[in-house]
Amino acid sequence: MLPWYVSETYVYHRLLEATGYFKPGTKGYGFDVFAAEKKEALEQALPQVDVRMQTCMQAKGKWSFQDFKSLLHMSLWGNQGDSSLFTVQDMSSKGISDVEQSRLIVDDSSLSFLILDRKQVPVIHIFNDNSGMELVSDLALAHYLVSSKPSSTVVLQLKPYPFFVSDATVADVHATIETLRLSSNANQQQVAADLLQYIQDGRIRLQGDGDLNFFLASPKPMWEMPLNVRDSLADVDLVICKGDLMYRKLLGDRTWNTNELFQDIISYFPCSVTALRTCKAPLAIGVDDEASERLSKASPSWMVNGEYGMIQFCLPPILYDLQVSDSLIRINMDEEASIQRMQGMMR
C-alpha cells in the first residue's frame, strides 16, 4: 500500500497526464484544469484582498517587528484558502478578522524577524502554497520585505505545474498581479505597480522550473533533498515554508509526538526556515503536552479543521556560531522588549 502523501501526489500527476498537460500537440498541453476555480476563488475573496492591500500599503517602507509580524500573520491565515479542502464559498468567508489570536498555537515571528533584522542584504525564499487569497497574502509579504529592506531579494518558489487544485504557479502570480492592476481599488493598483517594478528589477524573482520546484512537487520528504538543491539554499538567510503540504514534507508525512521540538526535528534543513501552516493534517510538533491536552479538549479536531495556526522557526546547528545559543532558540518571544534584548545579545 502506498503512503497517503505519495498516493495524493500520484493522483494529481496522473490527472494532468489524462488531460494531456505534458503532451505537446494536444488540446490540453500546458492547460491548467484548475484555472477557473482559482480565478473564482480570488474573485470571491476580494473583500479580504482589500484588507491585505491596505495593510500592505500602510506598512510599506517601515522595517519594524510589529509590521513584519502583521504581514507574516496575514500570510499564515491566508493558508486557510485551500481548494483541495474547502469550497470556493468556504474560502471567500475566511479572513484574518475571523481568527482569534488564541488560535495561534506557536508564534516564532520574533525569531524570524531577528534573523532578517541582523542582515544588511537578506535573501528570502518563500515556498509558496495556494493561489487566490493566500498568494495575495504572500505577495503582500514579499512587497513588504523588499520595500522595507531595500537591499533584500525575495524568491517565490512556485509549483512547476498545476498541483493539489490550488497550488500556485508562475502563471498564477502573473494572473493575480494583473487582477490587482485592473482593480478599481487604489491600494490594489499601487501594490500591483510596485510588484511589477520589483520583478523587473530582480528584487522579487519568480521560480517555477528549477530542480527545487520539481522537488517540492514530488512525494519525497525534505530530508531527501538532492545535494544540488541543498547547495542552492545554503546562502539563503530564511526560507518561509508555506502550508500543510510543505509541513508534511518537512516531517516526512510521519506521525510524531506533538511535544517533539521543531528545532530538533528540522535541524537537517540547509538554512534557517520558518514554517507557516494552518493545521489541516493529523501531524504536529513543537506543542507541549499541556497545550496539546488543552487543545484536544477545546477542539478535538484541532489538527485537521484549519482553524488553528502555527509559526515555527528552526536555525540549523551549523549556524549556531551566530551567537544564538540552543536554549535561546527554544524561547518563544512576542514582545518588543524581548526583540530589543535579543538584538543586543546577537551583536
Same-domain check for residues 10 and 104: no
How many contiguous H segments (helices) and E segments (strands) does the chain have?
Answer: 16, 7
User: What is the average pLDDT score of the chain?
Assistant: 88
**Does 43 score more than 60 pLDDT?**
yes
Same-domain check for residues 22 and 77: no
Burial-class residue 314 by CB neighbours within 10 Å (0-12, 13-18, 19+): buried
Supply the CATH number for residue 105's domain.
3.40.50.10880
Alpha carbons 303 and 311: distance in angstroms, whole number: 14
Task: Give residue 337's pLDDT band: very low, low, confident or very high (50, 70, 90).
Answer: low
**Residues 259-300: tens digit of each pLDDT:** 999 999 999 999 999 999 999 999 999 999 999 999 999 999
Q: Please name the helix (run of DSSP H) or strand (run of DSSP E) that holds residue 62, with its range, or none.
A: none
Alpha carbons 326 and 320: distance in angstroms, whole number: 7
Same-domain check for residues 235 and 340: yes
Identify the pLDDT of residue 198.
98
Q: What is the mean pLDDT of residues 156-176?
A: 97
> 21-35, 76-90, 148-162, 199-213 — which is least confidently predicted?
76-90
**Does 252 score more than 70 pLDDT?**
yes
Whether the Cβ atoms of residue 310 and residue 241 lie closer than 8 Å to each other: no
Same-domain check for residues 23 and 116: no
Same-domain check for residues 237 and 261: yes
Same-domain check for residues 62 and 199: yes
**Residues 78-95: tens digit of each pLDDT:** 887 544 443 434 433 444
Identify the pLDDT of residue 159.
98
Task: Give residue 102's pLDDT band: very low, low, confident or very high (50, 70, 90).
Answer: confident
Number of domains in the chain: 2
Task: Give residue 107's pLDDT band: very low, low, confident or very high (50, 70, 90).
Answer: very high
Q: What is the mean pLDDT of residues 88-103?
A: 50
Same-domain check for residues 2 and 73: no
Same-domain check for residues 45 and 2: no
- SS3 assignment, position 311: strand
Task: Give residue 338's pLDDT band: very low, low, confident or very high (50, 70, 90).
Answer: very low
- SS3 assignment, position 130: strand
Identify the pLDDT of residue 81.
58
315: Cβ–Cβ under 8 A, 6 or more apart, which residues? 111, 115, 263, 272, 322, 324, 329
The residue range of the domain holding 23 is 1-31
**Percentage of the chain surpassing pLDDT 90?**
78
Task: Give residue 330's pLDDT band: very low, low, confident or very high (50, 70, 90).
Answer: very low
Q: What is the mean pLDDT of residues 225-237?
A: 96
Identify the pLDDT of residue 346.
44
Q: What is the mean pLDDT of residues 39-62?
A: 91
Same-domain check for residues 273 and 319: yes
Same-domain check for residues 229 and 265: yes
34: Cβ–Cβ under 8 A, 6 or more apart, which residues? 83, 162, 165, 166
Same-domain check for residues 21 and 46: no
Indicate the pTM of the whole model.
0.89
Task: Give residue 48's pLDDT band: very low, low, confident or very high (50, 70, 90).
Answer: confident
Same-domain check for residues 114 and 143: yes
Q: Which three cell numbers stand for residue 274?
A: 520558518
pLDDT higher at 231 or 95: 231
